[in-house]
Structure 1
Amino acid sequence: MSADRRSGRSERAGRPGRAGAERSARPGTRRQARPDQAREARVDEPGQGAERDRDGRQDQRRPADSAAKAGPAPKKSRRTRRPKVRRVRNRKPILLTALAVVVVVGLGVAAWFTPVLSARKITVVGNVGVSSDEILSALAVPVGKPLLRIDTGAAAQRVASIAKVDHARVERAYPSTVRVTVVERAPAVFYDAPEGTHLMDASGVAYAIEPAPPGVPRLKTEHPGRDDPATVDALAAVTALPPELRGQVTEVAVGSLDDIRLALTDDRQLIWGSAANSARKAAIAPPLLSQPGKVYDVSSPDLPTIR
């Protein structure tokens, strides 16, 4: 019995196994893989993360290993982060501008209503023939009114409406002063009328009825006035004279537009002619008057004469 078992065991040992017999009996045929091996083979197929090494064996790596081999994910470039930085930077000027506007508006509202920046003092300069009380009355700016609420242009026009005032300027002097600067009219000539002596400035405005100051010549014409051509030409002749010669003129008589005569002190006479070339006539008159004579004619400035 034991001999048979030994003989059977030896017989089995001497026979080739089934797997070996099958491989030798069917050369070239593939052995059927187990289900678990089939899953591994499908995972390791080309295109699914499988790679082969130099010996032809597949490098069975998991997708995570391939991702690790590829390296870490690239960081976002500066260009992708730059728009956010720019948006933050672009908001800063807008916020600062809005804050500045709020501050300015707040200060303006405070200055508009607060009594701190109000008119507590009014100064008047430049007035000689016009009293300060008359100017303040025309100014019509009450004490205590906020400076920003004062219309300086309108106030200046009210002051300039005074007959003796040529023009005026009204300024705010912070924190609490209003300054009024006045330029009065100066008489260039005077003329007599039934109601009295009228003073007339260089622009032909008759602004006062009062005695003429010394050195102001009398105007003799039929219709003295700002719109009278004879008056306009007479004023052009007088205002063209240098100050030292103008003080010697006692009368300006206009017979016609081409016949203007200036009466001088010491009974001398300066024949002016028309108002044309008044600047040139005024330039040659002083040296001509330095010579002896009674009548000096500059009506033709190229040929002045003395009689």
Structure 2
Amino acid sequence: MRAPKQPRKPHSLGVTSERHEGGEISRETVQRARQDAAPTSELSPDEAQRVAKSVVGKWGTPASTPSPEEPEHKASSEIAKKESRPKVTAPKLRLPRRRRKAPQRTELSARRVEKQAERRKLIAKRAAIIGGGILAVVILVWALLFSPLLGLKADKVEVSGLDSQADLTASQVQEAMTQWEGAPVLRLPSGDIEEGLVSTFPLIESVQVGGKLPNGANVTLSLREPIACLIEDKTCVAIDAEGVRIPVSEEATSELPHLSLAKGQDAAGEAATKMIDVLDSLEPDTRSQVESISVGEALQMTLELKDGAEVTWGRSENNEFKAEVLAVLMTQGASSYDVSVPSAPVTG
């Protein structure tokens, strides 16, 4: 399709065009149109559109066979047309934003929500079990270690280790245990109990204490063993190897060897200690044959046996060696033994 001709101002188209019989425009008309081709001033887009419409309506459609001079006119018309053509820019269209549709709850999402709910229930159940277990442990620890429900009762105490000849009974020990009544049986102060019983009863050498549910205790006593009877003011007091005075029955004291001190000697002095050392060095069979021990001047000791034999011991030196020699000599059945010099003993 051929582009429309360059629009012109209306006053430049005042000459009426005359067509010849062949439909061609006369040469004079073309020359006149060339002179008026260049616009005197720049047209606005609206004016250019109106001029174009008026030219098409007045001049009509150009003939199909152009004149030889038409190409030059056409070129100038095309240039003028390009210069006067309004620049129309298409407006930018802004499409409205599509709103995201809320995801529909499908079967998969419903199953996921169900699994999350089950997981929360499982976590809550585990937390409840753990919390209940911790609470139970706390209550059990409190009941066993701090509750008065499992406190000690003195009449539930069981005493063992007593000797029939000892001047001590189980009831006496239970009565002494009343000061620890109410203490949790699994947290009994064994150190305090041992110290208290030893100080109360000199016959007791050591104590072992163990709790016994629900309200009892086991008390095991280790008693001191008397090895001699120390004569003081016409009375006989039993003593052990450490020189501790211990209460025993009269039957037990009558079977012990008697220790006699010289005048002016203290029962807690060196003489008594030396006699105890000598007795402690003797073998049990030999010690049971000793009737008495006496201390003379310069701590010279003499032993009297139950069969009437006499043993010259001398000073408290080399006691173990002397005890071994005396045990051998007593098998001879002599009436006197002298082990003051154990390497050269004498019998009579």
Q: Same fold per TM (> 0.5)?
A: yes
Q: Is the 8 A contact 1:197 1:210 kept in 2?
A: no
Q: Which residue is equivalent to 2:160?
A: 125
CA distance in 2, matches of 1:258, 1:101: 72
Matched, 1:207 2:242: no
CA distance in 1, matches of 2:180, 2:159: 15
CA distance in 2, matches of 1:195, 1:8: 179
Give identity over the alignment, percent.
Answer: 23
- CA displacement at 1:105 relative to structure 2: 5.4
Q: Which amino acid aligns with 1:185?
A: R
Q: Is the 8 A contact 2:143 2:149 kept in 1?
A: no
- CA displacement at 1:178 relative to structure 2: 0.9
Q: 1:85-164 alignment to 2 at 5 Å?
A: 106-120=139-153, 121-128=156-163, 129=166, 130-141=168-179, 145-148=183-186, 150-160=188-198, 161-164=200-203
Q: TM-score, normalised by structure 2?
A: 0.56
CA distance in 2, matches of 1:237, 1:126: 28
Q: Please, what is the CA RMSD of the aligned residues? A: 3.5
Q: Which amino acid aligns with 1:274?
A: R
Q: Which amino acid aligns with 2:284?
A: P
Q: Which residue is equivalent to 2:340?
A: 299
Using the TM superposition, name which of 244-253 and 175-184 deviates more: 175-184
CA distance in 2, matches of 1:257, 1:293: 27
> Does the C-alpha gap of structure 1 residues 293 and 205 become closer, same or farther in structure 2, counting only changes over 3 Å?
same
- CA displacement at 1:201 relative to structure 2: 1.4
> Does the C-alpha gap of structure 1 residues 209 and 112 become closer, same or farther in structure 2, counting only changes over 3 Å?
closer
What is the SS of the residue equivalent to 2:296?
A: strand
- CA displacement at 1:255 relative to structure 2: 1.3
1:236 corresponds, among 266, 272, 277, to: 277
What is the SS of the residue equivalent to 1:5?
A: coil
- CA displacement at 1:240 relative to structure 2: 0.9
Q: Which residue is equivalent to 1:282?
A: 323
Q: Is the 8 A contact 1:196 1:210 kept in 2?
A: no
CA distance in 2, matches of 1:264, 1:234: 15
CA distance in 2, matches of 1:100, 1:116: 22
What is the SS of the residue equivalent to 1:299?
A: coil
CA distance in 2, matches of 1:264, 1:6: 180
Q: TM-score, normalised by structure 1?
A: 0.62
- CA displacement at 1:234 relative to structure 2: 0.8
What is the SS of the residue equivalent to 2:174?
A: helix
What is the SS of the residue equivalent to 1:157?
A: helix
CA distance in 2, matches of 1:197, 1:114: 49
Q: Is the 8 A contact 1:122 1:180 kept in 2?
A: yes
CA distance in 2, matches of 1:108, 1:11: 119
Q: Which has the higher strand share?
A: 1
**Greater Cα radius of gyration, structure 1 or 2:** 2
Q: Is the 8 A contact 1:190 1:212 kept in 2?
A: no
2:258 corresponds, among 194, 209, 218, to: 218
1:171 corresponds, among 199, 210, 222, to: 210
> Does the C-alpha gap of structure 1 residues 109 and 191 become closer, same or farther in structure 2, counting only changes over 3 Å?
same
- CA displacement at 1:281 relative to structure 2: 1.6
Using the TM superposition, name which of 150-159 and 110-119 deviates more: 110-119
Matched, 1:263 2:304: yes
CA distance in 1, matches of 2:171, 2:64: 159
2:232 corresponds, among 170, 173, 193, to: 193
- CA displacement at 1:210 relative to structure 2: 5.3
- CA displacement at 1:102 relative to structure 2: 7.7
- CA displacement at 1:115 relative to structure 2: 4.4
Q: 1:60-75 alignment to 2 at 5 Å?
A: none
Q: Which amino acid aligns with 2:257?
A: P
- CA displacement at 1:263 relative to structure 2: 1.0
What is the SS of the residue equivalent to 2:323?
A: helix
Q: Is the 8 A contact 2:271 2:299 kept in 1?
A: no
Q: Is the 8 A contact 1:191 1:224 kept in 2?
A: no
CA distance in 2, matches of 1:262, 1:99: 76
> Does the C-alpha gap of structure 1 residues 149 and 291 become closer, same or farther in structure 2, counting only changes over 3 Å?
closer
Using the TM superposition, name which of 253-262 and 129-138 deviates more: 253-262
Deviations 1:171-193, CA, capped at 9 Å, x for gaps? 21233321111222222111233
